[in-house]
Amino acid sequence: VQLQASGGGLVQAGGSLRLSCAASGSTFGTNTMGWFRQAPGKEREFVAAIRWNGGTTYYTDSVKGRFTISRDKSKNTVFLQMNNLKSEDTAVYYCATDVGSRIITSEIRNQRAYDYWGQGTLVTVSS
């Protein structure tokens, strides 16, 4: 499985960006796709996740109401719409998936539960 993230860039505070993550290869069996981010000097943290079949979504508290995760099953692509961006959203954003295993809900925010990772895309929010 290969994940290709794109859509990062430089944006002013209050602006918007839309990240995309396209999955290719042996994607049959995908259950969950998630977004994580790592700010300079910080640990990588959970941002959002979506169940591939049911569409149930999960968010970290700091992005609720501003970020929306969605997916296009026909294109094996997950999106992260980010609105009202803040300087603290500056980070490298990574997409991840659990092809071949199903992450239980209590572990969905745990990066160790994901099997495959994209290369990351940089989001910089200027204040």
* β-strands 2-6, 9-12 pairing: unpaired
Tens of pLDDT, residue by residue over 7-32, are 999 999 999 999 999 999 887 777 89
Tens of pLDDT, residue by residue over 89-106, are 999 999 999 877 789 999
- Six token digits for residue 99: 């092809």
